[in-house]
Amino acid sequence: MHKRRYLILAPYAFAEAKTAHGVIRYGRDDTVAVIDPQFAGRRVCDVLAYLESPAPVVSDVRGGMQFGPTALLVGTAPKGGKLPVQWREQILQAINAKLEIVSGLHDMLGDDPEFAAAARAAGVAIRDVRKPPDVPLFSGDVYGVKPPVLLAVGNDCAVGKMTVMLELARAAAAAGARAEFAPTGQTGIMIAGWGIAVDRVVADFTTGAAEQIVLEAARRQPEYILVEGQGSINHPAYAPVTLALMYGAAPDALLLVVDPKRSRIEGYDAPTMGYRELVAAHESIAARVKPARVAGVALNTFGLSDDEARTQIARARAETGVPAGDAVRFGARALWDAIVPALRKTQPLAAAAAV
C-alpha cells in the first residue's frame, strides 16, 4: 500500500500537538518533517524524546520540501478556533507545491473556497478526516464478523483508549497474531489511514457507522479487531457516542481503560465511576443486546511512581477480578497475553418466539 510522506504543520504548537505525536509514533505513513519555527533546526526526538523520530523540524513549508513530502498534515488548530492567517498561507503554499492536504480540523478545509479552488488548480486532494462518509443504518451484519472484537471503554474521555489499543496491536504482532486497529476518531484515522469519526455522524447513523468500521476491519482478515473507544458511558455530553460503539461495533469483549487519578469527568461537575461500577455498567448494557465481558483493565498511571503504579494495578485486579496493567509504562505484551484467552465470539440475543 502506498505510504504518505507527511510534512506536519504545527507552528508554535508542536509540543502540544497530540494528533501529530500519535501520527509520528503509531502512523502507517512516514513523517519526513515537522513545521514549528520555535524548534526549527532540531529533530523531533530532541523536542520529544519518546517519539523516537529523527525527522527534522523546519520553519515553513518551503523549508520542508527538501525532505520530499507527499502530503501536509494539519492535525491541530491553535486554541480559540479559526485558522490563523499564517496557517492559511502555509496550507496554500503546500497546495501549490502539489502536496495532498490531510486535515483533522473541525472546519472542513475542502469547503473553504480559497483552498478548494487552489486544490482544483493544482490537481491535489484535500482530505478532511472528520467528515463522515454516508453510511447505512445499522443492519446487524456486524454480528457475522468472524474475528473476536475488543472495544476500549473508559472512565472518561482522553484517558488513553486509542494509545492502549495501538500498543496492544503492536504487542499482538510481536506475539505473532494479526490484530487490526479499527479507528473511530480523527487521530486514529490519521494513524491508520482509514476509519470514521463517529462523533461527527448524524445520531441515527452512529451505530451504522460503528458497524461499517468493524466490517471494514474484518475485510482485512485479521485474527482480532481492536476498536478505538470514544467518550465514556456516564459522560454527561458524550455517552451517546460510547453507546453507539457498544451496540454498533458489537464487541465480544471490553477493555476498561482507566485513569485512576481522574475523580471527575473532565469539564463537568460529575463523578467518574469506580472499577466495580464500570464493570457492572458496561456488562449490563451489553447484555441487553449482545453480551460482552470486561476482559482486562489498562491503567493510565502517568505521573505516578513505579511503586504507586503497581499498587494501582493490583487494586484494579483485585476490584475487577480480571488482568490489569499499564501498557505504556510496563509494556503491552503482558496485558495482551493475559487478555487473549478472553477474546471469544459472543452471540447477540435472539428475539423471543412470538407469543
CB of 352 to a second copy, least distance (A): 5
Rg value, the chain, Cα = 21
Asked whether the beta carbons of 102 and 190 are under 8 A apart, the reply is yes
CB of 125 to a second copy, least distance (A): 24
Of these, 42, 82, 219, 264, which contacts a second copy (CB under 8 A)? 264
The gap between the terminal CA atoms of the chain, to the nearest Å, is 53
Beta pairing, strands 149-154 & 179-182? unpaired
345 binds a second copy (CB under 8 A): no
Asked whether the beta carbons of 327 and 164 are under 8 A apart, the reply is yes
Residue 81, judged by CB atoms within 10 A of its CB (0-12, 13-18, 19+), counts as exposed
Of these, 65, 234, 291, 310, which contacts a second copy (CB under 8 A)? 234
Q: In whole angstroms, what is the distance from residue 272 CA to residue 278 CA?
A: 9
In terms of Cα–Cα distance, which of 106, 273, 114 is closest to 199?
106
140 binds a second copy (CB under 8 A): yes
Cell of 265: 469527568
**Comparison of 125 and 349: residue with beta carbon closer to a second copy:** 349
Candidates 82-90, 227-235, 251-259, 295-303; binding stretch for a second copy (CB under 8 A): 227-235
DSSP state of 6: E
284 binds a second copy (CB under 8 A): yes
Q: How many residues of this chain interact with a second copy, rule: CB under 8 A? A: 49
Candidates 63-71, 186-194, 260-268, 295-303; binding stretch for a second copy (CB under 8 A): 260-268
In terms of Cα–Cα distance, which of 65, 54, 51 is closest to 21?
51
**Comparison of 88 and 130: residue with beta carbon closer to a second copy:** 130
Length of the chain in terms of residues written:
355
308 binds a second copy (CB under 8 A): no
CB of 63 to a second copy, least distance (A): 36
CB of 104 to a second copy, least distance (A): 14
Candidates 6-14, 166-174, 212-220, 259-267; binding stretch for a second copy (CB under 8 A): 259-267
Cell of 60: 515553513
Q: In whole angstroms, what is the distance from residue 311 CA to residue 323 CA?
A: 14
Phi/psi zone of residue 36: left (φ > 0), alpha (ψ -120 to 50 degrees), beta? Answer: beta
Candidates 32-40, 73-81, 158-166, 347-355; binding stretch for a second copy (CB under 8 A): 347-355
Please, which of residues 174-213 interact with a second copy by CB under 8 A? 198-204, 206-208
**Comparison of 69 and 185: residue with beta carbon closer to a second copy:** 185
Residues that bind a second copy (CB under 8 A): 137-138, 140, 198-204, 206-208, 233-241, 243-244, 247-248, 261, 263-265, 268-271, 273, 277, 281, 284-285, 288-289, 348-355
